Amino acid sequence: MSNGNYNRPDLLDLDTKQETFLDTTEMVLNMGPQHPSTHGVLRVILKLDGEKVLGTECIIGYLHRGVEKIAENRTYAMFNPYVDRMDYVAAVSNGLGYCEAVEKLLAVEAPARAQYIRVIMTELCRIASHQVWLGTHALDIGALTPVFYAFRDREEILKIFEKYCGARLTTHAFRIGGCIYEIYDGFEQDVKNFCQKFLPKLDEYEELLTTNRIWVARTKGVGVLSAEDCIALGVTGPVLRASGVEWDLRKKQPYEAYSKFQFDIPTGLNGDTYDRYLVRIQEMRQAVRILLQAVESIPAGPIMAKVPKVIKPAPGEVYHSIEAPKGELGYYIVSDGSTQPYRVRVRPPSFVNLQALDKMVRGMLVADVVAVIGTLDIVLGEVDR
Amino acid sequence: MGGAYGGDTVSLGPILRKVFLVDLVKGLGVTFRNQSEEQRVTEQYPLERPEVYERFRGQPRLKVNPDNGESLCIVCNLCALACPEQLIVVKGERNPITKRKYPVQWTYDLSRCMFCGLCAEACSTDALELTQDYEMALYSREGMVLDQAALERGQEPVRYAR
Amino acid sequence: MLESIKQYLSTNVTPGEAGSMFWATIYVLAITIGVSLAVLSMNWLERKILAHMQIRLGPMRVGPHGLLQPIADALKLLIKEDVIPAGADKIVFWIAPVFVMMTAFTTFIVVPFGRTAAVTDMNIGILFMLGVSSLGVLGVIMGGWASNSHYPLMGSLRSGAQMVSYEIAMGLAIISAVLMTSLGATGTGTLSMVGIVQAQADQRTWFVFSMFPLGLAAFVVFAIAMVAETNRAPFDLPEAESELVAGFMTEYSGFRWSLFFLAEYAAMLAVSSIAVTLWLGGWLRPFPNWLSGPAWDLAFSFVPGLTFLGLAAMCFIGTVRMPKILQLRIQTIGLGTFGAVLAAVGLLLLVPGVRERSQDVFWFTAKVAVFMYLYIWYRGTFPRYRFDQLMKVGWKILLPVSLGVLIVTAIVGVRQELWAALTGVTR
């Protein structure tokens, strides 16, 4: 385990006795990049005392593709397909964040019909992302079946995406200034059918897991993160809400048409894994609520605002963030007046949430590390970009 | 086990539920119900091929005028300019009689394509289209660079024998 | 030669009672082949049933509906390269899987598939089974030790600790059931497997229903402990935690791994046989008291044949519903042939002579099959316990409960004598 090219000798070199806070009864264990449970290529180095975890270090970058650098060499409209590939589980949200950020830079607003369509697609995407989380998290803890049930529901959502924009995963659904695809015939009916079929299924998943004593034993009290720690670390999303902080950008800094819908923000009490599970299940229910309201009242009108053919924003910078399924997804775009952005910096929620891993697993057992990584709901495409 | 559900008093219901393993039995019921045949969603590819919808962004095709067989492409180069990966190369010549440009060399590098659809959106004559074909696997990388004939013909996927 | 065979078959005794080594060997071979076939079919059944619970299809390609999949897996494992880790203790590395498999198979000597369908009926049958299956723990630890690697060693020690802890609860539950054998007319109990089922027949009740709810409580304790004993979900952390602490089977590949795998399924069958014998009436047909009498006996005797005919009908329905394309023609023919074979077996089981002799074995096997289904059902439904929670359940929940059940069973069993002693009134 001696990789000389990392400058943390105290962590990796067990032979030399150094003046560090480590003593020699500790063991260093490597959860390598290829791992069935790290949701991507994440490398976690654990310092163990027997079974207890004393500290962790995450080594990321195995999926780094230079997305932000690519952005500097593409025009604004051309960069749109690339953002889908960051959080590939919830591609629609990424596209929404980017389009909104550029629209903020251009000072245009998407028309009302486009906003409703965007909200519907984003909430479907939220359900899809949470379904992936549910399946993989349950799989890590050992329940083999919820992953298949969750992906069956996700399949329905992906079919709607395919009917709408032509792709299931890397949707490229929105454009700067609105939407380019008009909703197809039967879109509202499809969404309503999905919502009707989905709520009983969600009850079924809760029946399978929520009161199950083994599930509760594995998740209650595991990976507790207090509200102060959350805010100090910059953790957002369901992790923050499960620790008791009621902060959701859809309510606090409303964007798109969210202010027109009624929905609740579920929060948790203890900030442990069980609460995060409950919060995400409730979020799926609230997403269905938003969908049913939105689909009833899509206004007529244009779907694309007046945006110049060649997008050349005035020099300036903008930061815009949205509530992606995993947390606060932010785009910081600096424009120098040309057709290509000077800098696009993405604030990925998974990247910031991953920093809380160390705090959450100290004192836990090794088997809990996997559960905690699952409950943070990270996607390495986003962490590494 | 009372935390998230509230209640600090010792009542009979939860104790009985715990002793008789009610939560476990409910979970068993869920998996038992899902065994029936109408729940299965597996498609046995390649015997059953999935249906794709009309707007699916798949294999690119160059459309040809059905009446006189000439390509609809007028070599405006908008698709090549729109492509984020710059994988379209178009060269054309002007027909002196009809004053219409026609493509002489048209290549599309499928290996770098991300099927974003910007090229088809940009096409001014609706000549370039991303169709619903998705079986584009090949044995060699050279076959991925499609020329005009391949784009007009479209993909002829080899159907697997088993 | 032929006369001695006919003479043996006409008497209805076990080879142990007949004192015949020859027949004992035949029975042992039959059991080995039977258990191996059972393990192969368990492999297929597990994959298919688990898949159906997970709303997918399972193996469909290798043979019709994946029926040849276990054979393909076995062949693949046989032709794999035999890798022995450097520095491993070669002899122990070689012995460990053989050891585990031998102990798992040896327990089947006393399993009573029928009144006389056992290799031998030891008068300490249940004790023998418990003892020999405990030896399997040694094989697991040997496997981890011989791998010369830190993680398999830890994994095998964990596995071993888990198996040993749950054996205590198993043993106490078994004692409760054995106590119940002494409640019959003779007033003496027995440890022999055949004797336990006979006691259930004599007392006219399966022990799971007797002294309600004590029999049921002991049965439930045993049912949970046996799942933990065989390292199956939800207690399979040492196996499935191959991410961090690899199970003891890591360094084994190919044939050696398949021996461990075979031994795991055989152990599952063995502990299920114990459960069936002790609580569920062994080879006795269901409802021997409610639905008694020669008419009902006759009706129930048709069930084995009808079961096989039902399976054959399912095969034929599957054959008809196969897609009519060229690639699947061989599979369709194969499925039809398999259905025909099953139908032939079913018809054979309807023949009067065979009907009587096959009753016991069929009911025993059917009950064990129910337990196998339960194993697969648990695997599909429950998440995994963490290791410390697993040990907590074994020591802090199952052990006190089984001890309590044992004490209450004992008190209830001798209540009349106790009452007489307390009040001074003699019976």
pLDDT in tens, C193-219: 888 888 888 888 888 888 778 888 899
Lowest mean pLDDT among A19-23, B16-20, B42-46, C378-382: A19-23
Residue of B20, B26, B28, B51 to mutate, interface with A, max A Cβ within 10 Å: B26
Q: Say yes or no to pLDDT of B70 above 70.
A: yes
Q: Decide if C240 is inside a domain.
A: yes
A270/B55 Cβ within 8 A? no
Which chain B residue has the Cα nearest residue C58? B42
In contact, B73 and B103? CB cutoff 8 Å: yes
**What φ, ψ does residue A319 adopt, rounded to 5°?**
-120, 125
How many CA within 13 A on the CB side of residue A180?
20
**Chain A residues touching C387 at Cβ < 8 A:** 51, 365, 367
pLDDT in tens, B90-109: 888 888 888 888 888 888 88
Does the pLDDT at position B39 exceed 50?
Answer: yes
List the one residue out of B31, B33, B1, B29 whose CA is nearest residue B17: B1
**ipTM of this complex:** 0.86
Q: Read off the amino acid at residue A366.
A: V
The mean-pLDDT minimum among A138-142, C180-184, C219-223 falls in C180-184
- C389 in contact with A at a CB cutoff of 8 Å? yes
Beta carbons of A143 and C382 less than 8 Å apart: yes
Residue C42, in any domain of the structure:
no
Tell me the nearest-neighbour CA distance from B77 into chain A, angstroms: 16
CA distances from C34 to A349, B25, B48, C29 (A): 57, 32, 38, 8
Gap from A167 CA to chain B (nearest CA, Å): 6
Which residue positions in chain A have pLDDT lower than 50?
A: 1-6, 9, 13-22
C-alpha distance from B158 to closest chain C C-alpha (Å): 15
A172 and B41 within 8 Å at the Cβ level: the answer is: no
Structural tokens at position C335: 């499925």
Please name the residue of chain B whose CA is at the shortest distance from the CA of residue C378. B28
> CB-based contact (8 Å) between C381 and chain A?
yes
Looking at residue A10, what is its pLDDT? Answer: 53
Domain limits, chain A: 9-59, 67-384
Region C371-392 average pLDDT: 90
**Token code pair at residue C175:** 């004692």
For residue B110, what are its two tokens? Answer: 């499928």
Give a yes or no: residue C239 inside a domain: yes
Q: Which residues of C touch A152 (CB under 8 A)?
A: 55
Residues in chain A: 385
A59-82 confidence digits (pLDDT tens)? 998 999 999 999 999 999 999 999
Please check whether residue C94 lies inside any domain of the structure: yes
Helix (H, G, I), strand (E, B) or coil at A336: coil
Query: What confidence category does residue C246 fall into, taking pLDDT thresholds of 50, 70 and 90?
Result: low
Q: Round the average pLDDT of chain B to a whole number and report it.
A: 81
Is the CATH number of domain A67-384 1.10.645.10? yes
Minimal C-alpha gap between A203 and chain C (Å): 16
CA pair distance B79, B91, nearest whole angstrom: 12
Within 348-377 of C, beta carbons closer than 8 Å to B belong to 377
* pLDDT of the residue at C364: 92
In a domain, C225, yes or no: yes
The shortest CB-CB distance from B24 to any of C52, C60, C382 is to C382
Mean pLDDT of chain C: 86
Closest partner CB to B4 (pick from A81, A167, A278):
A278
Say if residues A206 and A216 touch (Cβ distance below 8 Å). no
The answer to whether the Cβ–Cβ distance between A145 and B31 falls below 8 Å is yes
Closest approach of chain B CAs to the CA of A48, in angstroms? 29
How far C57 CA lies from chain B's nearest CA (Å)?
A: 7
Q: Is residue C327 one of the residues assigned to a domain?
A: no
Which of residues A51 and B54 earns the better pLDDT score? Answer: B54
The pLDDT assigned to C406 comes to: 92
C5: pLDDT strictly greater than 90: no
C245 to chain A, any CB pair closer than 8 A? The answer is yes
Rounded Cα–Cα distance for residues A162 and B117 (Å): 13
Q: Provide mean pLDDT across the span C80-94.
A: 84
Higher per-residue pLDDT: C347 or A19:
C347
pLDDT in tens, C164-179: 999 999 999 999 988 8
According to the model, what pLDDT value does residue C62 have?
Answer: 87
Q: Mean per-residue pLDDT for C35-45?
A: 92
Locate A154 and state its tokens.
């996700």
Q: Which residues of C touch B32 (CB under 8 A)?
A: 53, 377
Which percentage of chain B shows pLDDT scores above 90? 4
Nearest to B162 among C53, C327, C377 (CB): C327
Chains that touch A (3 or more CB pairs under 8 A): B, C
Longest dimension (CA), chain C: 86
Q: How far apart are CA C183 and CA C200, in angstroms?
A: 10
What's residue B158's pLDDT? Answer: 62
pLDDT at A348: 93
Partner residue facing A167 (CB), from B24, B57, B84: B57
Of C359, C262, C349, nearest to C305 (Cα)? C349
Q: What share of chain B is helix, strand, coil (3-state, %, to 5)?
A: 30, 15, 55
Total domains, chain C: 1
C376: chain B residues, CB-CB within 8 Å:
none
pLDDT band for position C373 (cuts 50, 70, 90): very high
Across the interface, whether the CB atoms of C381 and B34 are under 8 A apart is answered: no
Q: Enter the tokens of residue C220.
A: 């439930």
CA C164 to centroid of chain Cα atoms: 19
> Which range among A323-337, C146-160, C327-341 has the greatest average pLDDT?
A323-337
Q: Is C238 left (phi over 0), alpha (psi -120 to 50) or beta?
A: alpha
- The domain of C237 spans 77-284+385-423
